[in-house]
Structure 1
Amino acid sequence: MEWFHVNRSWMYDRCYIGRGGLKESFVNGVEEFVIKACQQQSYLNEWKLRCPCDKCQCTNIFPIEMVKLHLYKNGFMYDYHVWIHHGEQVPHVNDNDDHVRVSSSDVHVDESEQFVAMQDMVYDALGQHETFEPSNFNNREEPPNEEAQRFYDLLLEANEPLFEGAVDSKLSMCMKLLACKCNWNVPNQCLDFITTMLSDATPIKEGLPKSYYDAKRLVSMLGLKAKRIDCCVKGCMLFYDNEYGKNDGRLLQCKFCHHARYHDPKVGTSKRKPIPLKRMFYFPIIPRLQRLFASMQTSGQMTWHYDNRRPSGVLRHPLDGEAWKHFDQLHPEFAAEPRNIQPGLCSDGFNPYIQASAKPYSCWPVIVTPYNLPPEMCMSRPYMFLSCLIPGPHNPKARIDVYLQPLIDDLKKLRSGVQTYDISRKQNFMMQASLMWTINDFPAYGMLSG
C-alpha cells in the first residue's frame, strides 16, 4: 500500500518556532488528509468527517471546515500516522517480511476513549439513507433490513446535537452518565442529582436526560439487552419459555424437586412484585454477533479467517489447526460462506466476593468468542462476549447444561441462519454459526462434557 510509505512528519510539525503561524506544509497536509479521507469513506456523508484533532481524538463528527479549524488549532491526535478511522487499514505483514513491522503502538488508541466504538456506528449510520440502485451483479448493494435500519435510525436520532454547534448529543451525555456509574460506582441518587443540576444550569433542557432512569432507557434502546431468568434454587430447571416447546415460564414451583420459585409463598394473592429465590442472567448472543457486521470497524474483519488461509505449515490462528480443517471438510457448504461464524466457548468458576469470606461462593461466567477475527482481535476483551452468568453459591456441576439452555437455543437458530446486514458490503445475508470447541480446565471440561 503506497500510503504506508508516505512521509507524514508534517502532521506534528505545525507552527513556526518563535514566530507563530502555521507552516505551509501543515496546511497543505491537512488539505491532503481531508481529500483522502473523503475518498476512502465515500460511502459516508460527504460533508462530514470524524475529527482527529488532539482534543476530539476521533470521537466527534463535524463538517469538513470545522475539522480543518480544529486541526489548525489543536493539531493531530498522538501517533495517528496511519489513518485507521478514516478508511486506511494496517497492512498485513508476513512472518518472513522483516523489513516492514507495525507494532501495536503505531496504531495506539487511548483506552480512556470509551465512546469511539459508539461514534463509529453513528458515522456508519450516516450512509444508510442513500438511494440504492438495483444491479444485475451478485455483489449488488442493498438497503439494510428492517431491524438494522431501525437501529441506524434510532442511533442517528439519539445522536442529534443538544443545540446548534454543540459537541455532545443526548446519546453521548447518557453514555457518560452510565460510564460514571460503572467506573466509580456512583449511586443512582447521585446521578439523579447531577442530571437535575445540569438541567437547571443550562437554558436548553430538551436534549438532556432528566434522570439516571431516563439515560439508561435511551441507551438500552440502542444497546444489547440482557435477560433475567428465574432458576430452581437447586438447579433442576429454568422457569423459561422457548420456541421449541418449552413452556415453564409461568410455573410457581420446580417440576422435579417441587421447591418454590419465589420467596413469598402467597405470590398469587399478593400485589407486590414477586422476588425469585434464584436468578441467572443471559445475554443473547445473536444481536451481539449481528452488531459485529453493523460497524465498518469490525464487519470487514469478520472474513479474515477466510481470506488468510495459507498452506505455510505455521500455526498462526486456529484456522491453521487440524480441528478447523476437519470441520471444513465435514461441512463444506458452511465453510463456503466466509461470513459464517465459528465461535468457541469457555467457562470457569470464581468467587466475586472477598476470598477470606466465611461462606465460599462459586459464580460461573460463560464466554463466547468468535474466531473469524484476526489473532490480535479474537482474544481481546471487546470480542469476548459474556453470554451466561450462572449464580452460586454452589458449583453447578453436572447441571450446568440446565443453565446453558438459552445459549443452546440461540445456537440452534444460528445453525439455520439469521438475517443480518453487512455494512462493509451493503448486503443482507443469512448469518450462520457453529460452535467449534470449548476451552476450560479439566474440572470444567468434565462438567461441560456431561
Structure 2
Amino acid sequence: MIETYNIWNIYGEQLDNASSSNATRVDKVEPIVDPNEQVMDIINDVFPFALTNINQEGEDDVPIPMASAEFAQLLKNANQELYPGCESFSVLMTIVELMHGNIKHHMSNMCFDYFLGVFERMLPTDNCLPKDHKHAQKVLNGLGLGYEKIYACKNNCMLFYKEYETLDTCPICNESRFKMTSQNRMTKIPQKVMCSLPLKPRLQRLYMSTHTATDMRWHKEK
C-alpha cells in the first residue's frame, strides 16, 4: 500500500492488517537531474523547433522559424544567472521553483510578495528576482501556463461569456456583474471570476513533449 494513502474509514473502508504488515517497502531511487536542464526541456517542449536551430555557442545567426519575443525572453531568463556568480539557479528556474512552492503550499499573492521582498534583501543588490507575483506570472505565461479569466454571476447563475460578455447584470437574477461602492456606484471589479484553462494548447503541448507524446498516442498505437 502507498505510504501516504489515506484510509476512507468514514465510508466503510477498512485497512487489511495482514496485507499491510506483509507489504514490502520499496524505496524508489530518483535520478539526480539538473533543475536548469529541466527548465530547458520545458522550453524545448513549448518551442520544439526553435532550439534545434541555435548552435552550441548560443548564437542565433541561423533564422529561427518560431523566433518570437516570448521565446527570446524565455531563453534569456533560462540562461541568465539569478545574480552574478550564481551557478545553481537561473532567473527562470528561480521563478519556477517559487511559483511551485506558492501553489503547493496555498500561499496568497500577498504572502508570495512578502517573501519575495525578504529574498530581495537577502540577495546581492544586482539580482534579477521578480519584484512581485504579477511579474513572476508574466514570465511563466511564456511557457503556456496562462489562463483565461471569465467573469461569473455572484450567484453562479451564468458566465459573462460569448454572447453575454458585454452584459453588466445577470439576466437570470439581475445581480450586478461588478462590485458596488458604498455610494451604490458600479466599479470595474468583478464580483466573481472563473479561471479557465484552455484545453487546445495544453493538448498540443502534451503531443509535442518528448515526455508525454508516447502516452498520448498509446490508445491508437496499442
Q: TM-score range by the shorter chain?
A: 0.5 to 0.7
Amino acid at match of 1:274: I
Displacement of 1:173:
0.8
Distance 1:235 1:292 in 2: 32
In the alignment, structure 1 residue 155 sits paired with structure 2 residue 71: no
Displacement of 1:194:
3.2
CA deviation digits over 1:393-420, x for unaligned, max 9? xxxxxxxxxxxxxxxxxxxxxxxxxxxx
Distance 2:49 2:147 in 1: 29
Q: From the superposition, tell whether residues 304 and 154 of structure 1 become closer, same or farther in structure 2 (CA, over 3 Å).
A: farther
CA deviation digits over 1:70-127, x for unaligned, max 9? xxxxxxxxxxxxxxxxxxxxxxxxxxxxxxxxxxxxxxxxxxxxxx4x4422355586
Distance 1:127 1:145 in 2: 7
In the alignment, structure 1 residue 275 sits paired with structure 2 residue 190: yes
Aligned to 2:9: none
With normalisation by structure 1, the TM-score equals 0.34
Give yes or no for contact 1:169–1:207 (8 Å, CA) kept in 2.
Answer: no
Give yes or no for contact 1:196–1:210 (8 Å, CA) kept in 2.
Answer: yes
In the alignment, structure 1 residue 292 sits paired with structure 2 residue 211: no
SS at match of 2:102: helix
Amino acid at match of 2:50: Q
Displacement of 1:158:
2.2
Give yes or no for contact 2:35–2:93 (8 Å, CA) kept in 1.
Answer: no
Distance 1:126 1:235 in 2: 40
Give yes or no for contact 2:149–2:193 (8 Å, CA) kept in 1.
Answer: yes
Aligned to 2:14: none
Aligned to 1:196: 117
Amino acid at match of 1:282: S
Give yes or no for contact 1:159–1:170 (8 Å, CA) kept in 2.
Answer: yes
Distance 1:203 1:233 in 2: 46
Q: Which has more radius of gyration?
A: 1
Count of aligned pairs: 182
Aligned to 1:176: 97
Aligned to 1:60: 36
Q: From the superposition, tell whether residues 195 and 289 of structure 1 become closer, same or farther in structure 2 (CA, over 3 Å).
A: same
Aligned to 1:254: 170
Displacement of 1:199:
3.0
CA deviation digits over 1:147-169, x for unaligned, max 9? x8665444322212314561211
Distance 2:64 2:214 in 1: 16
Displacement of 1:291:
1.4
- Gap regions ≥5 residues in structure 2: 1-29, 55-62
Summarize the alignment of residues 1-400 of structure 1 with structure 2, pairs less than 5 Å apart. 56-61=32-37, 116=38, 118-122=39-43, 128-131=50-53, 146=66, 152-162=71-81, 163=84, 166-203=87-124, 205-233=126-154, 235-241=156-162, 246=163, 248-264=164-180, 270=186, 272-276=187-191, 278-308=192-222
SS at match of 2:200: helix
Distance 1:254 1:236 in 2: 8
Distance 1:205 1:224 in 2: 28
Q: From the superposition, tell whether residues 174 and 228 of structure 1 become closer, same or farther in structure 2 (CA, over 3 Å).
A: same
Displacement of 1:268:
9.7
SS at match of 2:217: helix
Distance 2:135 2:40 in 1: 20
Give yes or no for contact 1:232–1:259 (8 Å, CA) kept in 2.
Answer: yes
Distance 1:188 1:279 in 2: 16
Distance 1:226 1:159 in 2: 22
Distance 2:74 2:91 in 1: 11
Give yes or no for contact 1:230–1:238 (8 Å, CA) kept in 2.
Answer: yes
**Per chain length, whose mean CA-contact separation is higher, i.e. which structure has more relative contact order (CA < 8 Å, sep 6+)?**
2
Q: From the superposition, tell whether residues 155 and 291 of structure 1 become closer, same or farther in structure 2 (CA, over 3 Å).
A: farther
